[in-house]
């Protein structure tokens, strides 16, 4: 028997959101027909204590450590998940999304066929415009909103880069996976309902995104993007001048482990040539 | 006209979404449309699915699809069938049948292969709740996809309906696809709520024309994408590139019926007032302008001397024509002249 562990980090999510997510999880587990496959849910609260109105498959909550960010939170969940030797895959799942009933089936089937790939569900109704190969489903990077990480990749890469508090840790993980010879794929028949349109502009998000972009650029050797991100941080009023921006911390990854050729900084935050803009 | 329609109470907050379903081979697409409804931030939704030549087995399949979506609470729905002769396209009848069975104060329509973004209905209903208008429209994006290796691969998205901005543009041509708006039924006479069953294409535009000539529409959300029109091999129409050749005779016939509607439709005083017929136009626009040669001189003046945008110029022409005739056919004539002229001018 193999286990898929689903990891969710909550951050003050409404009961309504969690109720719909848990209902979708129940439906997706009910429609999972891959033999010898168990599913469990691991949760950590980065904000207030979360309340899950509907009992979900084997749910366990880890003690909260406060707001430790996405990368550290997910790494905690992955460490706990992979302590169980039967767990061969971990699914990062955003709490503000909803799984389609056939999503887990499509993800697990693909994982069993492609055990050396990071696998990303297709966000719905607005999917990410980054390209993917229609035959191999290879894609330059995978979103962490609904992302399956095989144990073998976690063992090799050690999870997300904790220097990234929030945003772009998924781009970094994808590039590290590709640098190490793994592939990154979209699973187009695995739908993950996730609202990405109609959001109000949020300055905190814009700031985190730019700071993460700046770190990513330094780590992956792109001074042009780093300069651009710093310019935006100043021009958008987050810092008075470039010298006020905190210094970029050093990455703990061995530079030799990073293939700078996989990193694409030519298309701003698309990190690839988008199918549409 | 549909008989027996009641006006819902203003205490009713239900949105009835009418989905017409023609082809049992498109159940997978229908499920995505329904999934998009289960994700809506506006939670109080009633689904009314109307199937062309449906059977008890198909009705049961669709009911099961609805039940299996991650609704918060029990889904409210009806699955109905209408029978037609083989080959008959009952699209207007399906919509009318859905309207007759819908219980919600708010009304929306969705084709079985399209979908609505999560915030879509909430934005439109909240907008209607903040004004006294009958219909609120949002932006519709178009995706183009092909069946590839077991899935629909989207290779392009754009917004071909962006040209439409206002009442005058809607009188010229349709830029509001059927799933990009919500109607508040408490503000509309039941006898106005019907689709012309003579039309098997453009029935949605005919419906809007009749409404917009009589009631006020809310165009304030046209920059907010609320839904997606999915273009793929099985569509009858391409939304921005013209016609599928197989549909050409049908659409030409439908266009004739639309032109006839425009020729006969009287604009209500409410709408005339919205177009500000009695104010500045008389100053700006000299008479007569309907001869093409004078059109051109007028437009050059407007564009060069007063630096007016395309839409403002078009608005002025519409306004003037309305004042003098009250008939949409004149507006269409003027608009075509304006657009032709502007294309040359650029």
B74 touches chain A (CB under 8 A): no
Q: Please, are residues B39 and A195 in contact by the beta-carbon 8 Å criterion? A: yes
Residue B71, SS3? coil
Q: How far apart are the C-alpha atoms of B288 and B296, rounded to whole Å?
A: 12
Residues of chain A above pLDDT 90, percent: 92
Give the residue from chain A lying closest to B230, CA to CA. Answer: A125
pTM of the entire structure? 0.88
Give the residue from chain A lying closest to B227, CA to CA. Answer: A125
Q: Which segment of A110-114, A180-184, B159-163, B282-286 scores lowest on mean pLDDT?
A: B282-286
Instruction: Determine the distance in angstroms separating the CA of A221 from the nearest CA of chain B, rounded to an integer.
Output: 31
B71 touches chain A (CB under 8 A): yes
Interface contacts (A, B; CB < 8 Å) = 79
Q: How far apart are the C-alpha atoms of A166 and B248, rounded to whole Å?
A: 52
Instruction: Tell me whether residues B120 and A19 touch, CB distance under 8 A.
Output: no
Among A111, A119, A115, A147, smallest CA distance to A32 is for: A111
Q: Which residues contact B54 (CB under 8 A, 6 or more apart)?
A: B21, B79, B80, B81, B82
Instruction: Tell me whether residues A195 and B41 touch, CB distance under 8 A.
Output: yes
The dihedral over CA atoms of A8, A193, A54, A106, expressed in degrees to the nearest 10, equals -80
Q: Which segment of B31-45, B103-117, B163-177 scores lowest on mean pLDDT?
A: B163-177
- The mean pLDDT of B40-54, rounded to a whole number, is 97
pLDDT at A257 over 60: yes
Q: Which residues contact A246 (CB under 8 A, 6 or more apart)?
A: none
Per-residue pLDDT at B306: 44
Residues of chain A with C-beta less than 8 angstroms from the C-beta of B45: none
pLDDT, mean over chain A:
96
- pLDDT-derived band at B292 (thresholds 50, 70, 90) equals very low
Q: What share of chain B is helix, strand, coil (3-state, %, to 5)?
A: 45, 20, 35
Q: Please, are residues A97 and A6 in contact by the beta-carbon 8 Å criterion? A: no
- pLDDT-derived band at B88 (thresholds 50, 70, 90) equals confident
Instruction: Tell me whether residues B115 and A134 touch, CB distance under 8 A.
Output: no
What pLDDT digit, counting tens, does each position of A49-106 carry? Answer: 999 986 677 899 999 999 999 999 999 999 999 999 999 999 999 999 999 999 999 9
Q: Please, are residues B276 and B323 in contact by the beta-carbon 8 Å criterion? A: no
The dihedral over CA atoms of B218, B220, B222, B227, expressed in degrees to the nearest 10, equals -70
Residues of chain A with C-beta less than 8 angstroms from the C-beta of B157: 129, 275-276
Choice between B111 and B270, residue whose per-residue pLDDT is larger:
B111
Q: Please, are residues B220 and B210 in contact by the beta-carbon 8 Å criterion? A: no
Q: Which residues contact B99 (CB under 8 A, 6 or more apart)?
A: B2, B5, B18, B107, B193, B194, B195
Per-residue pLDDT at A17: 95
* Residues on A contacting B at a C-beta cutoff of 8 Å: 16, 19-20, 23-24, 27, 31, 98-101, 124-127, 129, 134-135, 137, 188-189, 191, 193, 195, 197-198, 275-276
Among A137, A159, A1, A178, smallest CA distance to A70 is for: A159
Say which DSSP state A138 is in: B
- Token pair belonging to B152: 């629909």
Of A100, A129, A195, the CB nearest to B118: A195
Residues of chain A above pLDDT 70, percent: 99
Q: Which segment of A139-153, B54-68, B127-141, B286-300 scores lowest on mean pLDDT?
A: B286-300
- Token pair belonging to A100: 């389609």
Per-residue pLDDT at B312: 53
Sign of CA dihedral B91, B97, B100, B106: negative
Per-residue pLDDT at B7: 83
B335 touches chain A (CB under 8 A): no
Residues of chain B with C-beta less than 8 angstroms from the C-beta of A96: none
Instruction: Determine the distance in angstroms separating the CA of B152 from the nearest CA of chain A, rounded to an integer.
Output: 8
- pLDDT-derived band at B328 (thresholds 50, 70, 90) equals very low
Residue with tokens 């035959």: A135
Instruction: Tell me whether residues B156 and A193 touch, CB distance under 8 A.
Output: no
Q: Which residues contact A241 (CB under 8 A, 6 or more apart)?
A: A234
User: Which of B32, B67, B68, B70 should be substituted to probe chain A, the one whose Cβ sees the most A Cβ atoms within 10 Å?
Assistant: B70
- pLDDT-derived band at A120 (thresholds 50, 70, 90) equals very high
Give the residue from chain B lying closest to A15, CA to CA. Answer: B72
Paired with B296 in beta bridges are none
Sign of CA dihedral A81, A83, A87, A90: positive
Of A19, A135, A193, the CB nearest to B39: A193
Per-residue pLDDT at B345: 39
Say which DSSP state B225 is in: E
Give the residue from chain A lying closest to B221, CA to CA. Answer: A198
Phi, psi of A80 (to 5 degrees): -65, -40
Per-residue pLDDT at B81: 97
Q: How far apart are the C-alpha atoms of B118 and A195, rounded to whole Å?
A: 6
Of A126, A189, A195, the CB nearest to B150: A189
- Token pair belonging to B50: 């109307």
- Tell me how crowded residue B56 is: count the other CB atoms within 10 A of its CB: 8
- The mean pLDDT of A249-254, rounded to a whole number, is 90
């Amino acid at each position: 028997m193999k286990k898929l562990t689903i990891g969710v980090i909550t951050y003050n999510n409404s009961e309504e959101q969690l109720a719909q997510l848990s209902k979708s999880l129940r439906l997706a587990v009910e429609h999972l027909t891959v033999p010898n496959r168990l599913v469990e849910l691991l949760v950590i609260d980065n904000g207030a204590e979360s309340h899950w109105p509907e009992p979900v498959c084997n749910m366990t909550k880890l003690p909260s450590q406060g707001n430790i960010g996405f990368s550290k939170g997910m790494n905690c969940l992955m460490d706990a998940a992979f302590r169980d030797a039967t767990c061969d895959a971990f699914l990062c799942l955003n709490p503000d999304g909803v799984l389609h009933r056939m999503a887990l089936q499509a993800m697990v089937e693909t994982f069993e066929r492609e055990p050396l790939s990071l696998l990303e569900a297709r966000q719905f109704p607005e999917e990410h415009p980054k390209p993917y190969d229609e035959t191999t489903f290879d894609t330059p990077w995978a979103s962490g909103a609904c992302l399956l990480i095989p144990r073998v990749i976690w063992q090799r890469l050690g999870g997300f880069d904790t220097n990234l508090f929030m945003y772009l840790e998924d781009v970094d993980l994808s590039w590290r996976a590709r640098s190490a010879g793994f592939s990154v794929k979209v699973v187009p028949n695995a739908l993950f309902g996730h609202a990405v349109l109609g959001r109000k502009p949020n300055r905190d998000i814009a700031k985190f995104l730019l700071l993460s972009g700046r770190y990513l650029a330094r780590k992956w050797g792109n001074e042009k993007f780093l300069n651009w991100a710093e310019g935006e941080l100043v021009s958008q009023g987050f810092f008075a001048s470039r010298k006020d921006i905190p210094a970029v911390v050093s990455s703990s990854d061995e530079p030799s482990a990073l293939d700078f050729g996989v990193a694409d900084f030519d298309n701003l935050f698309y990190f690839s040539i988008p199918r549409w803009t | 006209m549909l008989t027996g329609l009641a006006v819902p109470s203003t205490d009713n907050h239900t949105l009835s979404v009418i989905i017409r379903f023609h082809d049992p081979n498109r159940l997978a697409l229908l499920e995505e449309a329904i999934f998009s409804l289960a994700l809506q931030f506006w939670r109080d939704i009633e689904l009314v699915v109307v199937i062309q030549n449906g059977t008890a087995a198909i009705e049961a399949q669709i009911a099961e699809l609805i039940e299996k979506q991650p609704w918060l609470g029990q889904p409210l729905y009806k699955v109905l069938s209408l029978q037609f002769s083989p080959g008959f396209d009952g699209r207007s009848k399906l919509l009318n049948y859905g309207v007759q069975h819908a219980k919600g104060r708010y009304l929306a329509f969705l084709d079985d292969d399209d979908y609505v973004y999560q915030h879509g209905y909430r934005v439109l209903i909240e907008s209607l709740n903040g004004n006294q208008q009958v219909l609120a429209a949002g932006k519709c994006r178009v995706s183009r996809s092909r069946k590839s290796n077991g899935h629909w691969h989207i290779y392009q998205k754009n917004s071909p309906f962006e040209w439409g901005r206002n009442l005058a543009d809607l009188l010229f041509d349709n830029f509001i696809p059927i799933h990009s708006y919500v109607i508040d039924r408490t503000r509309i006479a039941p006898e106005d709520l019907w689709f012309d069953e003579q039309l098997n294409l453009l029935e949605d535009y005919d419906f809007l024309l009749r409404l917009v000539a009589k009631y006020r529409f809310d165009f304030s959300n046209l920059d907010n994408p609320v839904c997606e029109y999915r273009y793929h091999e099985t569509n009858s129409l391409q939304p921005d590139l013209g016609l599928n050749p197989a549909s050409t005779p049908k659409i030409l016939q439908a266009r004739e019926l639309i032109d006839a509607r425009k020729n006969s439709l009287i604009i209500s005083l409410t709408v005339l007032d919205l177009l500000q017929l009695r104010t500045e136009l008389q100053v700006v626009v000299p008479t007569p302008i309907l001869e093409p040669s004078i059109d051109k001189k007028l437009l050059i003046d407007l564009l060069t001397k007063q630096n007016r945008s395309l839409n403002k110029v078009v608005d002025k022409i519409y306004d003037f024509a309305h004042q003098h005739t009250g008939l949409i056919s004149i507006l269409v004539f003027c608009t075509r002249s304006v657009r032709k002229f502007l294309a040359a001018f650029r």
